A and B are shown apart, each in its own frame.
Chain A
Amino acid sequence: MRRPSTVAASCFETHQRETERDPLTFDERLAAIRASMIEHKLEVLVAIHDGAHFIETPNSVFVLSGFKSLGPAAVVLSCDGEASLIVTPAWDVERAAECRPGLRVIAADDVVDVLESACSSHGSHGGKLGIAGLAATRWDIAGRLAQTLPQASAADDIVFDAAAAKTVEEIAHAREATRIAELGYARLVEIARPGMSEDELALELKWYTKTLGAEDNFLLLCAGPRNPAVAPSNGRVMQRGDTLVAEITPSYRGQLAQICRTATLGPTSAELKHKYELLVRAMNAGIQAAHPGAPMAFVCRAINTVLEAEGYGEYCHPPHIRRRGHGLGFGSIRPGDVSLDNDTVLTEGMVFMIHPNQHLPETGYLLCGEPVLLTGRGAEPLTKHQSALFEIGL
């Protein structure tokens, strides 16, 4: 059973593999997690999530069960194979049971109350216990849990490293989420007009992607003559001449995919076209650089090199830019950020964003990015149409 590694690579293969491995199934991944538990001498692993789903926060419960909860939820996994999913609110138990047949599902009013007894029934009688997801869980749950399970050690790496490569199911969902994102963008350029507020446009777009099957959407969208960043929409009324930037990030059955796009309301200047082409070149350099065996930092460096050659070296670092892409949850967000300090070695089956999204002094902030699947042949963009600056005719 292969397992993704986050060990730094001092050197890596630069040739591309000719063959591809089949992606893991959910059960194979679970088996890999159990194997890792044994390796780390963990008898029981507790995954906790408080129900606050966020693109930047991995969800260990989702990784171990495939269940996206309404409220706080937990999974108790024994190294010998038993697994229980604890669900709040209690009335949501039947939906939870549907998501992973065979999983023991427990309805709870209070996840921490039930966890203690569940840990005992899973055999944690003084054996080593690990916990994943604690750091991001809200205090009224996490604080009690830390007191209830004082012996628990952090087990986030065991869960999230194993889920760094997506399963067959997750890859299919990422493809569908990407399809929805592209349709969403087509809708955006169709309806965006001066006089409409950013909020109106964002709401309409979120609603539209839901009609296509997206159960959520991390949708950053804003417009202006020179955007300082991409930010959540507000009530600003869009004007002719604005540059409209959007990170459209639908989730399909709990798997996010994102496209980063830029459009102008009205004619596009020659300079903006020129600068956008530079970003597309930088993105393609990043896509070319991403292949199994390469550390993630290599992808970031490839993007920066294109921009540095054009004199934008100082804009390749904070505060102008923090990263050139990122992993995509809601389960694991590995392989993490496309950044110079990320030495995670890329492996087949990883799905992540490559976006050189960049503030340039002449244009303001521009968005340009694609979700990619890492295969034996390199990074495969999941989109049908690559980022290109779009001029919305008025």
Chain B
Amino acid sequence: MLAMNPTLLVGPSDWDPGRMPQEEFAARADALWRDNPSATGAIVYGDRVNHAELAYLTNFTPKLEAALALIPRDGLPQLLVGGGVNMLPAARPLTFVADLRPLRNVGKTVAEWARAQGGGTPVLIGSTLMPYVFHQEIAAALGSKMGDKTAELRRLMGRKSARELAELRQTCATLDAAVAAMRAAQRSGAGVTAAVLAGEQAANRRGAQEVRSLFSLDRGRTLRPFETLVERAVDPLQVYVAVRQLGYWAEGFAVLTASPHPCAERADAVLRSGITRMQAGERCSEPARSITQAGHPLHPVTARVVGNAIGLALQEHPLIAGGCEDRIEAGGVYSLRAGLSDERGHGIISAMVAVHEHGNEVLWSSPEAA
């Protein structure tokens, strides 16, 4: 789900070798080289909005300006950090990469580094996420050697390791705490902003590095981000919360109300039928069909796309949507949602689902509406 991108990331993002040791990153790089046997290295872009691939290979979250990792097939990586030499001390705790340098003269730096790797072809990761001018500099530097392998890396990222799954479980526990705090605040009569911020604070205090939320002021018909204070209380309160902790995202929808909510109950039944289709090897279109063709009017927010893989990015590939022929993979973690909307009411609920070789596991699901 898309929520408002903040202008600066402020939460805890330091590298914790106890939780994500360097051998985990080495194994990821090895897998990248296996998939790209002729690559002499990798040039990996990330910024504060899009940096899942950069974080996957370096643990680095660019909180302020963009960063570029130069990872040789043999040898030690460099991390070029935006903002000048004085920003390097603050960036150092965020990564295991020891060689940090300011990000300057992008084209010249990249061209020289590529030449130093023997003149072969480095793979490029995240090139479509670069700003237009930045991309032009890289393209001019690499010329015909510009081969973007982001999609291939994302396939590797889709299969979560045991350590990653452990982190995702913890993030789901924080998501649960956030939704519970919102629910408690809403039931005690808190206004919309107070209820949402109660959840955000609960997540922060459990170590979340970022929390994003959406909510509805019209009984779930539309969603909106925080724009200004809303002091009135609403019931039902439809919320969406995305929590990022230790680098990994979990997201969820919930209908918070003191009364029975038939629409959310119908959505729950639809979601459960979709979850049963979340099996390794199944086409992504199958759970989507199960949800969108259940015979209920669909909510506009979830009418086309009912889910996606999730992890270091809030929305990873593949999408769970009609027409998507990608396969659901064992080792993948997915966000799946069901939203219904008609003249009687509106409700969106969701689940975080880990898919195993045999069967699946619900890591988190929306609480019952009432």
B83-118 to A contact mask, C-beta < 8 Å, 1/0: 111110111011000000000000000000000000
CB A85 to nearest CB in B, in angstroms, measures: 16
- A221 to B226, alpha carbons, bound, how many Å? 23
Docked-complex contact A234 and B93, CB < 8 angstroms: yes
Give every chain B residue within 8 A of A221 (Cβ-Cβ).
10
B227 within 8 A of A: yes
- B11, B48, B90, B193 pick with most chain A CB within 10 angstroms: B90
CB A185 to nearest CB in B, in angstroms, measures: 16
- A277 to B276, alpha carbons, bound, how many Å? 67
Additional 16 contacts, C-beta under 8 A, given A135-B131, A207-B204, A252-B228: A52-B48, A53-B4, A70-B4, A70-B225, A71-B2, A89-B2, A137-B132, A138-B50, A140-B128, A204-B204, A212-B229, A217-B10, A221-B10, A229-B84, A236-B93, A249-B7
Docked-complex contact A229 and B86, CB < 8 angstroms: yes
For chain A, residues 225 to 262, give those with C-beta under 8 angstroms from any C-beta of chain B: 228-229, 231-236, 249, 251-253, 256
Q: A-contacting residues of B (Cβ < 8 Å)?
A: 2-14, 47-50, 63-64, 83-87, 89-91, 93-94, 127-135, 193-194, 197, 200-201, 204, 209, 222-229, 300-301, 304
10 nearest interchain CB pairs?
A231-B90, A229-B86, A142-B132, A140-B128, A232-B63, A235-B14, A139-B135, A202-B10, A199-B12, A52-B49
Give every chain B residue within 8 A of A12 (Cβ-Cβ).
none
- A144 to B86, alpha carbons, bound, how many Å? 36
Give every chain B residue within 8 A of A197 (Cβ-Cβ).
12
Given contacts A137-B132, A139-B128, A228-B86, contact A203 B204 (CB under 8 A): yes
Docked-complex contact A231 and B131, CB < 8 angstroms: no
Give every chain B residue within 8 A of A146 (Cβ-Cβ).
132
A166 within 8 A of B: no
Give every chain B residue within 8 A of A70 (Cβ-Cβ).
2-5, 225
- A91 to B214, alpha carbons, bound, how many Å? 12
CB B113 to nearest CB in A, in angstroms, measures: 20
Q: How many residues of A contact B (CB 8 A)?
A: 64
Docked-complex contact B93 and A91, CB < 8 angstroms: no
- A109 to B304, alpha carbons, bound, how many Å? 10
Q: B-contacting residues of A (Cβ < 8 Å)?
A: 51-55, 68, 70-71, 88-92, 94-95, 109, 134-140, 142-143, 146, 197, 199-200, 202-204, 206-207, 210-213, 215-222, 228-229, 231-236, 249, 251-253, 256, 319, 322, 330, 359, 365
- A134, A143, A249 pick with most chain B CB within 10 angstroms: A143
Docked-complex contact B8 and A220, CB < 8 angstroms: yes
- Of all chain B residues, the one with the shortest Cβ separation from A359 is B86
- A240 to B311, alpha carbons, bound, how many Å? 38
- A146 to B135, alpha carbons, bound, how many Å? 13
Docked-complex contact A253 and B8, CB < 8 angstroms: no
CB B317 to nearest CB in A, in angstroms, measures: 14
Docked-complex contact A55 and B9, CB < 8 angstroms: no
Give every chain A residue within 8 A of B8 (Cβ-Cβ).
55, 217-220, 232
